Amino acid sequence: MDNSAIEKAKEQFGKIVEEQIQRVEELRKGQEWIDYSKEKPIIIGIIGGDGIGPYIGKESRDILEFILQEEEKSGKVEFRNIEGLTIENRAKQNKSIPDDILEEIKKCHVLLKGPTTTPRRGDPWPNIESCNVSMRRYLDLFANVRPVKVPKEGIDWMFFRENTEGAYIMGSKGFNVIDDLAFDFKVITTQGSDRIIRLAFEHAKKKNINKVTLVTKANVVKTTDGKFLDIGYKIAKEYPEIECDDWYIDIMTAKLVDPQRRTQFKVFAIPNLYGDILTDEAAQFQGGVGTAGSANIGKRYAMFEAIHGSAPRMVREGRAKYADPSSMIRASAMLLEHIGFPERAKNLEMALDVCGNYERKVVLTGRSTGGTGEEYTKYLMETLQDPKLKEKWENYVY
C-alpha cells in the first residue's frame, strides 16, 4: 500500500473540504434580488464566444436592438460587445475567463452569450475549466432555467437545474490517488438546494401551475441526492396548493418519451448533472438543442445563452453564415422577460414559432441549400411587425 499517496490524497481532499465550507459561509449570508426597474441604464453585454458564436451573436443583438430601439434611444438600455472570450485567448492566459474580461462582464446587468469551446482530450488546448461552469460560479448564477414547449403534443415544461454545485462544481478538482484509482467529487449544500427548489415552486405559484417534480438518484446516491430530495419535500410543505412528486433520473428520461405520461409533467427542480442530461433530451422534442434557449439566473447577474456547442466544423467549412440563430434568439426572449418586457418576449417567441415551424419562408439547413442567419433574422423582424402574428401563431398551435 502506498501510504504517501494516501497522505497526499488526504491533504488534497482536506483543501477541497475547506474551500466548500468557505463557500457555504458565503451562501449563508444571502443576497437581495436586483430590481431592474431601478437600474438605468440596464446594461446588456453581448458575448460572441467561439465558432459560430459571433455569427449568431450578431443576429441576436440585431433582434434585441430592433425590439428595444426606443429604450436604447432613451438611455434605459445600453448594449455592450464583450470581446476576447475565445478559446484562443483563454488558452493563451490559461484561464477559463481572463481577469480583464471578467471585470467587463461584471459591469453588465445581464449577458447574452454565444457558445464557447470547452477543451477535451485530444484538443490542442490546455485543460482549462469550462467557461460556462466558471461564469456560473463567479457570478453565482445558481439557476439554469430552460423552457421546452410543443403545444400540439401537450408539452409545456420548465426546468430549474441547479447550476453551481453537484457533480460539475468539482470538475477540475478530481485527482488520481494512484495510477489505478481516480476520484471525482459531488457537492450538495442545504443553501444551494433550497434556493433552486424554492425558485421552481415560486415560478409554479406565479404561473398558477399545480405541480413540481424533483429529479434525483437518491435511492443510490443517498447522501447528496438524499439531501436535495429531503429539502425539496420540506419546501413543498410551504406550497400546499402545489403537488410535489419525485422521480429517479434514469426512469425520468424514459417517461419524457412516453406520450401517455410526459404531458403530466410541468415544472422540474433538478441537481446539476441530471438537469444537463434531461434538458438536452427535452429540447429534442421542439427541434433539437439548436432551437432551445437557456437562462442562468442569479440574484445580481443573469446570463442567457444558446445550449448547443460552437460548431467549429461549420466555421472550418465556411458555413458559419448559415448557422441557425434560433437558440440564442430564444435566449434573447428569456432575457427580455427577465428585465421586465414580458409582452415583447412573448411576441418574439411567437415569431420564432411561426417562422421556424409554421410559415417557414426562410428555411435554415446549415448549408447553402438554405437561408443565412441574417436572412432569417430579417424574416423574424418582418414577422414581429405583422399585425396578424398572434392569429398565425394560434393557427399553428391549435
Q: Which pLDDT tens digit goes with each residue over 105-150?
A: 999 999 999 999 888 777 788 888 888 888 988 999 999 999 888 8
- Which of 69-83, 152-166, 170-184, 272-286 reaches the highest mean pLDDT? 69-83
pLDDT at position 85: 95
**Strand, coil or helix: 248:** strand
Query: What are residue 23's phi and psi, to 5 degrees?
Result: -65, -40
**What does the pLDDT look like over 98-111, one tens digit per residue?**
999 999 999 999 99
pLDDT at position 120: 77
Q: What is the mean pLDDT of residues 369-390?
A: 96
pLDDT of 268 over the 70 cut = yes
CA distance 258 to 388: 35
**What does the pLDDT look like over 331-352, one tens digit per residue?**
999 999 999 999 999 999 999 9
**Strand, coil or helix: 325:** coil
What are the extents of the domains in the chain? 142-293
pLDDT at position 266: 97
pLDDT of 55 over the 90 cut = yes
pLDDT at position 214: 98
CA distance 101 to 86: 11
pLDDT at position 396: 77
pLDDT of 291 over the 70 cut = no
CA dihedral of 136, 282, 312, 174, whole degrees rounded to 10: 50
Q: Is 331 exposed, middle or buried (0-12, 13-18, 19+ CB in 10 A)?
A: buried
- For the record, the C-alpha cell of 323 comes out as 448557422
Query: What are residue 255's phi and psi, to 5 degrees?
Result: -70, -25
Q: Are 192 and 142 in contact (CB under 8 A)?
A: yes
For domain 142-293, the CATH superfamily is: Isopropylmalate Dehydrogenase (3.40.718.10)
CA distance 83 to 101: 8
Provide DSSP, 381-397: HHHHT-TTHHHHHHHHH
The pLDDT-based confidence of 398 (bands split at 50, 70, 90) is low
pLDDT of 173 over the 90 cut = no
The pLDDT-based confidence of 315 (bands split at 50, 70, 90) is very high
- Average pLDDT of the chain, as a whole number: 92
CA distance 216 to 307: 22
